[in-house]
Structure 1
Amino acid sequence: MTQLVSPSLRPPGAQTSVLRRDPYYDNAKLLAVVLVVCGHFWEPLIEQPGQRHLKALYLLAYTFHMPAFILISGYFSRTFTARPQQLRRLATGLLIPFVLWGALLTLFNNTFSGTPTKWQPLTPVWITWFLIALFLWRVSAPLWQTLRTPVAIATALFLAAGAFSLGAQLSVTRVLQFLPFFVIGLTMRPSHLVWLRETRWVKGAAVTVFVVAGVAAYWLAPRLGAGWLYRSGSAAELHVSYTHWLVQSAAVYAAGLIVTAAFLALVPGRDAWYTALGAGTMSAFLLHAFIRQALVHTHTYDHRVLHHPAGQAVLTALSIALALALCTRPVGRIMRPLIEPRLNWLFRPNGTPGNQVP
């Protein structure tokens, strides 16, 4: 799978033989993955003294970039019915890469780190949480589509998750806390996105939303821990009461939903020079982690130049360039065996089921 949203999971009614990629979705995925890469390269600096501006940018990006990815993933999971061929693509595009890239990241970190850690196959290694989360969300898609009030139930599960420490295995806490965004995408109709994309006053309001969100992020930078935006901690793990967690998490969720809608309203819908790169977002998502970790392990972030706006502007420009380069087709072709291994030997021909026990 060379992208974060599988092209095989198309909106209902799409004709495979005549379907043409809508540049809007590739543009949205590309912009979101660029923000992911920038955020990860900013992260080691945001809690340093005098970095309020950088932390504000970080908080703003984390408010919506993963919710946007997840919502779009839900939208393109509307036709997932657990057919054998779909399950096969799910296994080769998400489940197996989750295990493989977790092992690779652990090996890479252990090579550079003075304190090696043991690889645990069921425990996500940093960015690999998204692979297993998307696998679990997509497998559950047919169930959500049978419910009368799926968004309300998903939101209730998210709010309940904060009361329990669920552990790190399979990133269950994040799966539940980000779940409403996936279910919202799953229940959206094409007309909803058309309304966001083409209504003039909505686009104007979206600009206002980002201005207000930017000002709010700057005000919150010294007051809000970034951990609240990761959606990976319970009340106990964030050292607050459940009531406090409930109120603050609900506010973060509402802000994420509003800014995500604003982002989707402002995404360009036209084919541009960068649009084709949106098909290679998985390469950028996975590969940039090794470069960022290499900078951390080699103490590059200790250099004083990165603690000044000029150095951070260069870091940001290089992060954007890296994200775009890793989305290119040559990189995707090289990485395909690791991102979407075919593994024909593992599956029955044409996804046919085996003999069933009577």
Structure 2
Amino acid sequence: MTNSVHPHGRHRAPLPPAHVPADGVPGPRAPQSTMAATVPHAPAGTTARPGSTGHSGSTGHTGSSDRPVSTGQPTKQRDSFFDNAKYLAIVLVAMAHAWEPLTDGSRAAEALYMTVYTFHMPAFILISGYFSRSFDMRSDRLKRLVTGVAVPYVIFEVAYTIFKRYADDDPTQPISLLDPWYLTWFLVALFVWRLTTPLWKLVRWPLPLALAIAVLATISPDIGDDLDLQRVLQFLPFFVLGLIMKPEYFQLVRRREVRLLSIPIFASALLLAYWAGPRMTSAWFYRRDSAQELGAPWWAGVVMTLALFGCSAILTACFFAWVPRRKMWFTVLGAGTLYGYLLHGFLAKGSRFWGWFDDYAWMHTPSGEVLVSLVAAAVVTLLCTPPVQRMFRFAMEPKMEWAFKRDAAALARERAKSSA
């Protein structure tokens, strides 16, 4: 689909809290859902329990409060770097969605679109994997996975379908929880990836295995569209890469040499995308189809999967090199990236349904393209703000205590306290 506590950059930063609020896109506030894995984190400056499951987008909180959870154990400070990265990644996601209708008439817009699509979701997903490292089948983490990922998926899949029926004048559009529409695929993917986390910790070569699975998916047209499994499997290597990442790896990409090297790399990527724009379909970057479905021979799927993974990993590292390490004005918005991700989809799709890009020719001019980009960034920023989070928390991070049995160990501790 990511300012650090130590602004000096070369010292090892403390391990960020392994708690995942409700996305992969794509942090620890008081835990309430599980999605933050790649998307949201709690606002910078809050604390989390050392053992809590991280994050989407990437995302799990277990409560709606932003106050630190008191456990009697030392707590760890949120690393601003990851909140900054999530916010900047979601801004790129929104801008790329705004560029899509402009790519037919502008080769420059198409080059920007392809370049950003190479790394924005991989970056989001990698962060989700990084904050999922402590995930296991413990009951509280499974609850956060349900309330922070599965429940928002159901709510937004239904909401998107109803929106399409009326905005696109398509009353026959069915509600299908097996066929994610538009952005909800990320929630399905995060749910599956997180459930498989314990397995990836067991195998000896997790990343090569994940790449092999992605390659096999690319050459298997019979997988079909159920649960968007093509995307789940083809993006899997980035989640697994996040799982095996260590804090020192992020310190490496923050070095000044890497930042300087990233400039010619990004420039080369833009030039390559400008050249490739008329010669290839951008559908390769969506990873939702097999090679055969894109009209290419099966072996092209093998080549493109490995080549795109390499390009995405390099550009993601270059992106991380430019993410601020200190607390910024937008750091707090990193906790609301899942909100921005899912909510901006209504405007992104609505702009197509209502013909905005067809009715206003000025949008297809260079100045119009710049203005569209700024508007997209401003809108998704607004949607990540705390007031919007409070307004939609019922859908993104529901508590749902009524739906789960009380944990026997927790009940025993409560009884022991009351009798003491």
Give the TM bin, normalised by the shorter chain.
over 0.9
Q: In structure 2, do the counterparts of structure 1 residues 297 and 160 end up closer, same or farther at CA, with 3 Å as the change threshold?
A: same
Q: Which has the higher contact order (CA 8 A, sep 6+)?
A: 1
Q: 2:121 aligns with which of 66, 80, 87?
A: 66
What is the TM-score of this pair, normalised by structure 2? 0.80
In structure 1, what is the Cα distance between the partners aligned to 2:144 and 2:395?
14
Contact 1:23–1:270 (8 Å) recurs in 2: yes
Q: 1:297 aligns with which of 347, 353, 373?
A: 353
State the Cα distance separating 1:352 from its structure 2 match.
6.8
| Code of the aligned partner of 2:187 | L
Q: 1:215 aligns with which of 261, 267, 271?
A: 271
Contact 2:22–2:149 (8 Å) recurs in 1: no
| Code of the aligned partner of 1:176 | L
| Code of the aligned partner of 1:148 | R
Contact 2:164–2:170 (8 Å) recurs in 1: no
In structure 1, what is the Cα distance between the partners aligned to 2:189 and 2:148?
13
| Code of the aligned partner of 2:129 | G
State the Cα distance separating 1:37 from its structure 2 match.
0.6
Q: 1:88-143: per-residue Cα shift (whole Å, max 9, x none)?
A: 00011111111110110000010122333111111111100000101110110010
State the Cα distance separating 1:17 from its structure 2 match.
4.3
Q: 1:25 aligns with which of 71, 75, 82?
A: 82
Contact 2:291–2:301 (8 Å) recurs in 1: yes
In structure 2, what is the Cα distance between the partners aligned to 1:86 and 1:321?
34
1:156 aligns with 2:212: yes
The structure with more helix, counted as a fraction of residues: 1
In structure 1, what is the Cα distance between the partners aligned to 2:95 and 2:280?
20
Q: How many correspondences in the alignment?
A: 347
Q: 1:35-68: per-residue Cα shift (whole Å, max 9, x none)?
A: 1111111112212x3x101111110110000000
Q: 1:257-304: per-residue Cα shift (whole Å, max 9, x none)?
A: 110111112211111111111111011001101112221111111021
Q: 1:125 aligns with which of 181, 185, 192?
A: 181
State the Cα distance separating 1:307 from its structure 2 match.
1.3
Contact 1:95–1:135 (8 Å) recurs in 2: yes
State the Cα distance separating 1:351 from its structure 2 match.
7.8
In structure 2, what is the Cα distance between the partners aligned to 1:194 and 1:10?
19
Contact 2:151–2:395 (8 Å) recurs in 1: no
Give the aligned partner of residue 93 of structure 1.
148
Q: In structure 2, do the counterparts of structure 1 residues 262 and 125 end up closer, same or farther at CA, with 3 Å as the change threshold?
A: same
1:237-248 to structure 2, matched below 5 A, reads 237-248=293-304
In structure 1, what is the Cα distance between the partners aligned to 2:356 and 2:89?
25
Q: In structure 2, do the counterparts of structure 1 residues 102 and 214 end up closer, same or farther at CA, with 3 Å as the change threshold?
A: same
Unaligned runs of 5+ in 2: 1-20, 27-35, 42-51, 56-71, 411-420
State the Cα distance separating 1:217 from its structure 2 match.
1.4
Q: 2:138 aligns with which of 83, 102, 115?
A: 83
Q: 1:214-267: per-residue Cα shift (whole Å, max 9, x none)?
A: 111111121221100001110221111101222223222211111011111221
Q: 2:369 aligns with which of 312, 315, 326?
A: 312
| Code of the aligned partner of 1:69 | F
| Code of the aligned partner of 1:241 | P
Give the aligned partner of residue 356 of structure 1.
none
1:109 aligns with 2:164: yes
In structure 2, what is the Cα distance between the partners aligned to 1:53 and 1:324?
25
In structure 2, what is the Cα distance between the partners aligned to 1:9 and 1:44?
38
Unaligned runs of 5+ in 1: 354-358
In structure 2, what is the Cα distance between the partners aligned to 1:176 and 1:252?
14
